[in-house]
Amino acid sequence: MNWFHVSLFFHLIGVGMIFTLLLAGPIIEANFRWENDIRMKQHAAKMLRSVGLLSPFGALVLILSGIGNMVFLHITVGNLFGSAAWLGLKLLVFIVLLAIGMVISPKTARQRAMLLDQMNQINPPEDAGEKMESLNSKQTLFFLANWILVVVIVLLTLFKP
C-alpha cells in the first residue's frame, strides 16, 4: 500500500461523510415537517444542526485528500484548465456546493430555530405558519440543490468528459 492509496481511502471516507449528510438531512427534515408539537420540531431542528456539523469535516477531508490525489497523479493547476478540465469543473461544482452549505443552510436553520422559539411563546406571531412554510421551502430547495450538485460531481467523476 502506498500514499496514493491512503489518500484515496480518505477521499472515500470524505465522500461517505457527505453522502451521510445527503441522506440523513432529508430524513430528519421530513420528521421536522410531520411533527406537530413545537418541542419535537425544536428537537428535530437540533438534530439537523448536529448532522450539519459533519459537513465541514467531510469537506476538509475531501479537499485535503483531493489535493493529495492530484499530487500523486501529477495533476497540476494548469491541467485543470486543459487535459483535466473535468476535474476543474468538478472542483468548481464542489465549491458551489460548499458555498451553499456554508451560507444558505445555516442561515435558514437559525431563522427556523428563532421562529420555533417564538412559536413556543405564550403569544406566538400571527404569521408564524406562513414564515415557517417559507423557510421549509428554502430548506427543500437547499436539499434539492445539494443532490443535483452531487450528482453532477459523480457524473463528472465517472465519465470525465
Instruction: State the residue range of the domain holding 33.
Output: 3-159
CA 10 to chain CA centroid, Å, is 18
Closest CA to 69 of 57, 84, 82: 84
In the DSSP assignment, the letter for residue 37 is S
Number of domains in the chain: 1
**pLDDT band at 121, cuts 50/70/90?**
confident
Task: Please check the confidence at residue 106 and state whether its pLDDT lies above 90.
Answer: no
Cα(133)–Cα(45) distance, integer angstroms = 14
Task: Please check the confidence at residue 82 and state whether its pLDDT lies above 80.
Answer: yes
Mean pLDDT of the chain: 91
What's the confidence (pLDDT) of residue 64?
95
Is 155 or 100 the better-scoring residue by pLDDT? 155
What's the predicted TM-score (pTM) here? 0.85
